[in-house]
Chains A and B, each alone.
Chain A
Amino acid sequence: MMRKLADIGLNEMQVEMADLASRFCTEKSPIEQVRALLNDKQGYSESVWSEIVALGLTGIAVSSEFGGSGLGLAEVAPVVEHMGRTLMAGPYSDTILAAHIINSVASEDQKQSYLPQICAGRTCALGLSEPHGDWGLGKITTQASPSKSGYVLSGEKRLVSFADAADFILVTVVQDGVPALVILDRKDIPGAALRRENIIDETVRSYSLNLNGLTINTDALMVSTHMPDALNALHLAANLLNAAVMVGGTKAVLDLTIDYANTRIQFGRPIGAYQAVKHPLVDAWIGYEKARALLYSAAHSFSTEAEIAVRMARVKAETAFAFAADRAIQFHGATGFTHDCDAGLYRRRALYCASRYGDAAYQKHKLANLLFS
């Protein structure tokens, strides 16, 4: 039997965001800039970040009472998609996600103290992954135990993006047997607690965070009766934005390869004339268009029937990006094998994205349970 799956649509704000982000990212993140930042310690440009803030992009999904524009992740998706296209890296997605969960679980006081700061450009890194490597956000071993002045933490977080330069770091903990969040001020974390990780995507700065012995005040702890649901929602939101990055990347790497196929001459003809090259490129493009359809369906329905739509988008975005970037290397020949070829930047990005928040196989397992139960 046919089953009703999520619909697709686009609102005017999404169009506006897409136009704005497309212009902004193309201008601010040309490939030379991406390459220049590969060796930069911070990994993103402070001045570009200020412009992102000035454009109001950090507050898109924050309600107006805290200084945001009161839209949602549906409007963030096109922004992140265009960042993905241009390989623009930085704390944007994680900061958006942090605001998202703070808004759903924090106390009124906590919201008042953090959300306006985030809208105003303070960045927040996310410490969700742990050494066990389980993608489910509910599996937390980091502990927050009562101490004299508040709590003392124990445990380790991994793959904390742009943590060193962040203003805040939001980490998941278990407190009194239930999941909770702790928001850390970067200034309170000793330098030795952060170790830069060597990761496959050289555009991203990633850190392990040793939390053992760190003490926090009570007001840094966020507890909520619906924390498990909020963590699930965060997981979906992270997957939505990750899918958007990947959809953007797919388009860019495809364009790169089509360009090369039209200009590289072998046997007297552009290599794109050969079916062994042109047919896989068509397949890569079809994959991209399908992934994009699923992404905008997920964004469109995010506030209502998100889970199936988001997971589907995540699956297709990963497989489409992987295929397009993999073929990009092959169709550049030995040039594709070099560190100087941009195909490698995309393939590494694709692998990194695939590693985050549950890969395609993991998502499909969840989807099977949702669809066949």
Chain B
Amino acid sequence: MTKPTKQELKEYTADADAWFSEHTPRDVGFMLPLTFMEVGTDQQFDFLRAWQRKQYEAGYLGAHWPKEYGGGGLHPKFQAVASTVMQKHNVPITLNAIGTNWAGPLLLDIGSEAHKKKYIKGILSAEDIWCQGFSEPDNGSDLGGLKLRAERDGNNYILNGSKIWTTLGAHAKYMILLARSDPDPKSKYAGMSFILTPMDAPGISTKKIKKITGEHGFTQTFFENANIPADGLVGAEGQGWRVAMQLLEYERGARAGQAGGIIMQTPDAFAIVDLARSAIRDGKPAIDDPVLRDKLVDFIIEIHAQNLNQIRAKIPGLNSEHPAGLMLMNKLVFSEQAREISQFAMTLLGENSAWYVDETNAPDGGLWARSYLNAFSATIGGGTSEIQHNILAEHVLGLPKDNIRVDA
């Protein structure tokens, strides 16, 4: 593939900019989630699915993925440009992120020809929603101890056990499943297999779990003698841990190949400035209070700095001395900031923070209360903030590993 000329990229950028200026949804009338893990209502789900499809059809998702599987067949620089434009327009998140940004690039890199033909297009268009079956009731951060059993039976696997916290589990057509294919492995991380699993296979059932927000969003997923075709195996049998670690590299942005798009929206510090303007304390707008002003400025600085970090990660002379570091820190930084900001918003609301979603008295429909509670989805899901600290310390700063944790 030939490298695009400056002129070609310029034109492409202008086109993308025009497209997103025109089509980015604004003021949709309900709260849009910051990450796909926050998706809680059918309204959000339907809206985001349609939005993903629209972006895909316009050519701005997977623009660089091979044409024969449903991608745009362009040079990766085009998608990089499109994603930057999307960031600039602060577009709603990509719903099918597990597919577009984790499973998709994995399959393109190490999947079979049949996998690519079967799955890639549906991933991009959001026709096929994907979910991830890693966590189990007894194994979260310590994923390596997982127990779900995958027993080989000719051309099939028989699955028994359960997965939990399955985001979009009730909507998904496929799951990326990490299971134990060898019940008696030589070491903790041996004997696992990574299997693409159809969620409609007999023996698989999901049970919705009510989130702290009061909505549904993830499921517990049960496997009772579920019989699935073994051709969903990715990598060799018993090599599942290695495949899962590769998947996590796409997830954390440490490895390239994602379809692009926005999978985590930047929290907007200026939104709480508006709150501070309208909140009244002792007859005066809260925004006149010097202590609150100081805090608001801090939020704006922190978020702006991390936005700049994302931009400079792409500027060679300005990147961190630890090149993957700026991308690796994103999840920790933005998720914690989103939590802190929405928590602060609750204090700004004062008496009004008592109202919850659907209460007519609640300002902004209770958006802030829900935002705060939802914020924990990203400080826990996808590896907790504590685990993120370990990852950054060990993989970026080069500090020694935790005694207890062995991974990647």
Chain A residues with a Cβ under 8 A of chain B: 1-3, 5, 7-10, 14-15, 18, 251, 258, 261-262, 269-270, 272-273, 275, 278-279, 281-283, 285-286, 289-294, 296-297, 312, 315-316, 361, 364-365, 367-368, 371-372
Q: Which chain B residue lies CB-closest to A369?
A: B293
Looking at the complex, which one of A275, A291, A372 makes contact with B305 (CB distance below 8 Å)?
A: A291
Instruction: From A1, A279, A289, A316, give the contact of B393 (CB < 8 A).
Output: A279
The contact sample of 15 A-B pairs, CB cut-off 8 A, is A1-B271, A1-B274, A2-B270, A9-B318, A10-B318, A251-B321, A270-B400, A278-B399, A282-B392, A293-B309, A312-B301, A364-B298, A368-B294, A372-B273, A372-B293
Q: For the complex, is B28 an interface residue (Cβ under 8 Å from A)?
A: no
Contact (A285, B312) CB under 8 Å given A368-B293, A368-B297:
no
Instruction: Look across to chain B and name the residue whose beta carbon is closest to the beta carbon of A290.
Output: B305
Instruction: Choose the segment among B174-182, B201-209, B325-333 that binds chain A (4+ C-beta atoms closer than 8 Å).
Output: B325-333
Q: B393 to A8, Cβ gap below 8 A?
A: no
Tell me the minimal C-beta distance from A242 to chain B in angstroms. Answer: 16
5 further A-B contacts with Cβ under 8 Å, apart from A2-B90, A273-B400, are: A2-B270, A273-B402, A275-B386, A278-B390, A364-B293
- Residues of chain B contacted by A315 (CB below 8 angstroms): 297-298, 301
Chain A hits for B268, CB < 8 A: 1-2
B377-408 residues at the A interface, CB under 8 angstroms: 386, 389-390, 392-394, 396-403
Does B320 interact with chain A (Cβ within 8 Å)? Answer: yes
Is the beta-carbon distance between A371 and B300 smaller than 8 angstroms? yes
Query: Could you give, for residues 357-369 of chain B, a 1 whenever the CB lies within 8 Å of some chain A CB and a 0 otherwise?
Result: 0000000000000
Instruction: Encode contact with A along B275-294: 1 for CB under 8 Å, 0 otherwise.
Output: 00100000000010010011
A261 and B294 within 8 A (CB): no
Contact A294 B308 (CB under 8 A): yes
Chain B, interface SS category: helix
B307 → chain A closest CB, angstroms: 8
Closest Cβ neighbor of A315 among chain B residues: B301
Which chain A positions have C-beta within 8 A of B393?
272, 278-279, 281-282
Q: Is the CB of A312 within 8 A of B304?
A: yes
**In the assembled complex, which residues on chain B have CB atoms less than 8 Å from the CB atom of A290?**
302, 305-306, 308-309
Taking a contact as CB atoms under 8 Å apart, the answer to whether B296 and A368 are in contact is yes
Using Cβ atoms and an 8 Å threshold, which residues of chain A touch B296?
Answer: 368, 372
Closest A residue to B295 by beta carbon equals A364
Residue of chain B at shortest CB distance from A291: B305
- Whether B315 is near chain A, meaning CB under 8 Å from some CB there, is yes
Q: Which 6 A-B pairs have the closest CB atoms?
A: A290-B305, A293-B308, A368-B293, A272-B399, A278-B393, A273-B400
> Taking the nearest CB of chain A, how far is it from the CB of B24, in angstroms?
12
Given A5-B304, A10-B318, A371-B273, the answer on whether A275 and B309 have CB atoms closer than 8 Å is no
Given the known interface contacts A14-B317, A258-B397, A296-B318, the answer about A8 and B294 at a Cβ–Cβ threshold of 8 Å is: no
Query: How long is the Cα–Cα vector from A261 to B320 in the complex, in angstroms?
Result: 21
B297 pairs with A364, CB closer than 8 A: yes
Give bound CA distance, A10 to B308, whole Å: 12
Contacting pair A279 B311 (CB below 8 A): no
Contact call B399/A261, Cβ cutoff below 8 A: yes
User: CB-nearest residue of chain A relative to B325?
Assistant: A289
Known contacts A2-B268, A275-B389, A372-B296; is-contact A8 B397 (Cβ 8 Å): no
Q: With contacts A2-B270, A367-B297 known, is A258 near B308, CB below 8 A?
A: no
Determine the chain A residues whose CB is within 8 A of the CB of B304 once the complex forms.
Answer: 5, 294, 312
CB distance from B297 to the nearest CB of A (A): 4
Tell me the complex Cα distance, A316–B305, Å. Answer: 9
CB–CB A282/B397 < 8 A: yes
B270 and A316 form a contact (CB under 8 A): no
Question: Max chain B CB contacts within 10 Å: which of A279, A282, A292?
Answer: A282
A10 near B389 with CB under 8 A, answer no
